[in-house]
């Protein structure tokens, strides 16, 4: 086995571009607690690889970090994140966690006052729990400028009269799904340099949380050039794939794939919407409205055709499916495909009879553990749970059932829909409890996974010789085997990516 490992190491080195390090530099992380080793370990990094793991101290280090017994893990991969929207979230009015309309308006007013230079007031993060009936009328008097407020999941927008006028459209001020673009398209565009700066803000944000690799699910071809510009400046400390819309021009995509090897992610399609807005497509009617079970956003024939077309051209497909009927439609569309790596995103509700099909068809379930922490007075009392009804809840976020059925799981955040913090996701995946430890027995706790399984889904686990030198050193009091500690304040001490210390959260970089 040693030879195999060594061979892997040598081969990886040979194909890796030369780094900024001189060949003789050895970065050592001493006194590291790692997943499958009983004793504290020294991790030796040469260039961008883990060159070796040793019991106790090692010599010849050109730089040394003392983990002092803290946990060291391979840094996390986020399989579903919207980096540009995340950047927007970090630079707009943050409505996350606002309890009611008054709090939302208060935050919008404060942001507007602090940003008198902005032509539009952009906000995001409100929920239907906080604002059950959003309207332009509610925003009257808040500010004279156009106001555009995206819901936490991006499937609704709440705008004022000035925004409707600027867009030349009429309406109540609540826009759902496809109608959002009618106003959003009129928000003043940013320059390329502004977009690159925004992307850097998003990268810094995820990096500080221990994420060194992302599948950016943003479906905008321009994003390729933004990442490339950062790479060319040696300012891209994360690995990133970029996804594009499923119904686009495959010939143009093939060119992009050639021009950006390794950066091409998935062809992303939407099969349905979300449970809160009753746009998720269900096998049985909504518990709160027997007249609807949602509807697919795309006809079945068209979905089948698009998936076959993409698969035939060797593209991996990622389909947004939240309801159990949408999941079934996607699995049906993946029947007979041959390109490896197709995924279904979210899988919030799935019929147990469909779970074995993931393994049979080689389809990955790309899920976001922190979503399984629904808003509301209790998890069962929030809009999400009430819309689904008690009978379906045991089959929601079915990680355990999927793994038991042989499926491959990938975990991500869906940031900025939810926090980008993988440690929070990890805590929910391990316990199905929130940061307050509630509910005590876990919410549908039969779906929890083990630490090894959860880390694997985040692209983490034991530190291995020959692997990429992407590591996260956790704070001294954070212990993944005691999930309660994963919620604590400053939980990441430093982040190493491609062999270089990148982020020391809480200190200037």
3-class DSSP state of 147: strand
Residue 84: CB minimum distance to Zn ion, A:
12
Question: CB-wise, 150 or 414, nearer to Zn ion?
Answer: 414
Comparing CA positions, the residue from 504, 500, 501, 502 lying closest to residue 48 is 500
Give the separation between CA 307 and CA 311, rounded to whole angstroms: 6
The smaller minimum CB distance to Zn ion, of residues 337 and 366, is found at: 366
Element (H, E) at 109: helix 101-114
Three-state secondary-structure class, residue 451: helix
Shortest Cβ 115–Zn ion spacing (Å): 26
User: Whose Cβ is closer to Zn ion: residue 161's or residue 247's?
Assistant: 247
Tell me which H or E stretch contains 101: helix 101-114
The size of the interface with Zn ion (CB under 5 A), counted in residues, is: 1
Residue 414 touching Zn ion (CB under 5 A): yes
Q: Alpha-carbon distance 269 to 246, whole Å?
A: 5
As a whole number of angstroms, the distance between CA 78 and CA 412 comes to 4
Q: Could you tell me the smallest distance in angstroms from the CB atom of residue 143 to Zn ion?
A: 29
By the rule CB under 5 A, 272 interacts with Zn ion: no
Bridge-based pairing state of the strands 93-94 and 121-126:
parallel
- The interface region with Zn ion, picked from 16-24, 368-376, 407-415, 501-509 by CB under 5 A, is 407-415
Residue with the CB atom nearest Zn ion in the bound state: 414
Q: Is 216 among the residues that bind Zn ion (CB under 5 A)?
A: no
Shortest Cβ distance from residue 321 to Zn ion (Å)? 12
Give the count of beta carbons closer than 10 Å to the beta carbon of residue 251: 8
Residue with smaller CB distance to Zn ion, 162 or 367: 367
Span of 178-186, 284-292, 412-420, 425-433 interacting with Zn ion by CB under 5 A: 412-420
Sorted by sequence, the CB contacts under 8 Å of residue 463 that are 6+ apart come out as 32, 34, 35, 41, 43, 50, 53, 72, 73, 74, 471
Beta carbon nearer to Zn ion, 242 or 496: 242
Going by the DSSP 8-state scheme, the letter that residue 467 receives in this structure is S
**Least distance in Å: CB of 417 to Zn ion?**
6
Query: What does the CA dihedral 440, 393, 286, 269 come to, rounded to 10 degrees?
Result: 110
Measured from the CB atom, the residue of 272 and 414 that comes closer to Zn ion is 414
Q: From residue 119 to residue 148, what is the string marking binding to Zn ion with x (rule CB under 5 A)?
A: ------------------------------
Q: Output the CA–CA distances (angstroms, integers) from residue 353 to 283, 318, 331, 341, 442, in the order listed.
A: 12, 21, 12, 22, 24
Instruction: Write down the least CB distance from residue 429 to Zn ion, Å.
Output: 18
Q: How far apart are CA 343 and CA 340, in angstroms?
A: 9
Whichever of 417 and 448 has its CB closer to Zn ion, that residue is: 417
Window contacting Zn ion (CB under 5 A); options: 180-188, 191-199, 255-263, 406-414:
406-414
Q: What is the 3-state secondary structure (H, E, C) of 354-370?
A: HHHHHHHHCCEEEECHH
Q: How near is the Cβ of 272 to Zn ion at its closest, in Å?
A: 13
Pattern 372-391, Zn ion, x by CB under 5 A: --------------------
CA dist., res. 331 & res. 319, Å (int): 10
Stretch that binds Zn ion, among 129-137, 283-291, 335-343, 411-419 (CB under 5 A): 411-419
Instruction: Give 48 or 272: the residue with its C-beta nearer to Zn ion.
Output: 272
CB of 375 to Zn ion, least distance (A): 17
The contact mask relative to Zn ion for 85-104 (x = CB under 5 A, - = no) is --------------------
- Segment contacting Zn ion by CB under 5 A, of 63-71, 350-358, 390-398, 413-421: 413-421
Residue the block writes with tokens 């439609």: 329
Q: Pick the closer one to Zn ion by CB: 204 or 414.
A: 414
Q: Give the footprint of Zn ion on this chain (CB under 5 A).
A: 414
């Amino acid at each position: 086995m040693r030879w195999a490992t060594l061979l892997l190491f040598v081969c990886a080195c040979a194909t890796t571009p030369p780094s900024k390090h001189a060949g003789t530099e050895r970065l050592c992380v001493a006194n590291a607690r790692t997943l499958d080793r009983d004793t504290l370990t020294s991790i030796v990094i040469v260039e961008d690889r883990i060159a070796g793991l040793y019991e106790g101290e090692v010599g010849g280090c050109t730089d040394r970090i003392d983990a002092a017994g803290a946990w060291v893990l391979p840094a996390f991969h986020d399989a579903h994140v919207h980096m540009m929207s995340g950047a927007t979230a970090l630079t707009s009015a943050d409505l996350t966690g606002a309890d009611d309309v008054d709090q939302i308006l208060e935050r919008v007013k404060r942001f507007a006052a602090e940003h008198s230079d902005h032509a539009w007031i952009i906000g995001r993060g409100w929920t239907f729990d906080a604002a059950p009936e959003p309207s332009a009328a509610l925003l009257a008097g808040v500010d004279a400028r156009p106001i555009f407020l995206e819901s936490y999941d991006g499937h609704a927008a709440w705008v004022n009269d000035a925004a409707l006028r600027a867009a030349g459209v009429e309406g109540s001020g609540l826009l759902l799904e496809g109608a959002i673009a009618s106003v959003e398209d009129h928000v003043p565009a940013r320059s390329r340099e502004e977009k690159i700066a925004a992307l850097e803000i998003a990268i810094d944000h995820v990096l500080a949380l221990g994420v060194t690799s992302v599948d950016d699910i943003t479906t905008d071809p321009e994003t390729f050039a933004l990442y490339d510009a950062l790479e060319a400046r040696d300012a891209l400390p994360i690995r990133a794939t970029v996804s594009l819309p499923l119904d686009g021009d495959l010939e143009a995509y093939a060119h992009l794939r050639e021009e950006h090897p390794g950066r091409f992610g998935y062809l992303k399609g939407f099969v349905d919407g979300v449970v809160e807005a009753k746009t998720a497509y269900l096998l049985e009617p909504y518990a709160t409205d027997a007249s609807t079970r949602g509807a697919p956003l795309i006809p079945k024939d068209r979905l089948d055709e698009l998936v076959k077309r993409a698969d035939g051209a060797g593209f991996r497909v990622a389909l947004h499916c939240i309801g159990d009927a949408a999941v079934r439609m996607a699995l049906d569309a993946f029947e007979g495909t041959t390109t490896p790596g197709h995924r279904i995103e979210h899988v919030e509700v799935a019929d147990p009879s469909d779970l074995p099909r993931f393994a049979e068809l080689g389809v990955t379930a790309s899920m976001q553990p922190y979503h399984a922490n629904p808003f509301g007075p209790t998890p069962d009392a929030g809009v999400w749970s009430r819309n689904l009804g008690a009978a379906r809840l045991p089959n929601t976020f079915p990680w355990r059932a999927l793994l038991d059925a042989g499926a491959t799981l990938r975990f991500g955040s869906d940031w900025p829909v939810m926090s980008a913090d993988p440690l929070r996701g990890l805590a929910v995946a391990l316990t199905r409890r929130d940061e307050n430890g509630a509910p005590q027995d876990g919410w549908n706790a039969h779906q929890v996974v083990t630490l090894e399984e959860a880390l694997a889904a985040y692209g983490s686990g034991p530190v291995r010789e020959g692997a990429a030198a992407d590591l996260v050193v956790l704070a001294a009091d954070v212990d993944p085997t005691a999930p309660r500690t994963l919620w604590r304040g400053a939980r990441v001490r430093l982040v190493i990516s491609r062999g270089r210390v990148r982020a020391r959260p809480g200190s200037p970089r």
